[in-house]
Amino acid sequence: MKKKKKGFIFKQDRARIFKDERTDTYREKQKYKEPTRCPNCGALYIEGRWTWDETSEKVHEALCPACKRIEDKYPAGFLELRGDLYRKQKGEILHMIRNIEKTENSEHPLERIIEINEQKEYTAITTTGIHLARRLGKALQNAYQGDLDISFDAENFIRVTWQR
């Protein structure tokens, strides 16, 4: 039987670490020139982030990632609303969702609702970011209880289902 050497420190071989090949096509690989304004929504890229700030400087123009997602109809978040309570209080719940979106968007310009699609048995809401979909689901659960299921289908996509 071999004796273990004292003081041996395990060094991890960096070459063997799993490299994730998934990529988000809407995540920019390079920074925008500063300042840059989105011609569609008016968001301003300054100091490394998108804001609703104003500037007197000459600005470059480029579509922000949220406007690209909206244009391509390619959501990062999917929220599904189901159940009897939802059908009974649909107007109130959708009003709450719009208010949360307004609040979230005031601080984070890239978090927006792309579409609200009402079907016979459920309503599907698509969002430009994963955080807005999760926040909407959590707000519904806090306000109305019910069953909330959150699953991250990939690194860049979230599926949230709420029903009651």
| Residue 114, amino acid | I
Residue 5: per-residue pLDDT: 55
pLDDT band at 142 (very low <50, low <70, confident <90, very high): very high
Q: What is the pLDDT of residues 72-93, one digit of tens each?
A: 999 999 999 999 999 999 999 9
| pLDDT band at 156; cut points 50, 70, 90 | confident
Mapping DSSP onto H, E and C, the string for 108-141 reads CCCCCEEEEEECCCEEEEEECCHHHHHHHHHHHH
The mean pLDDT of the chain is 87
Residue 14 has pLDDT above 80, yes or no: no
Q: What angle do CA 69, 150, 82 make, to 5 degrees?
A: 90
Question: What b/e readout covers 5-30, taking b as 16+ CB neighbours within 10 angstroms?
Answer: eeeeeeeeeeeeeeeeeeeeebeeee
58: pLDDT strictly greater than 60: yes
pLDDT of residue 32: 86
pLDDT for residue 19: 55
How large is the average pLDDT for residues 39-50? 94
What confidence tens digit (pLDDT) does each residue in 105-136 have?
Answer: 999 999 999 999 999 889 999 999 999 999 99
pLDDT at residue 31 in the model: 84
Is 1's pLDDT higher than 60? no
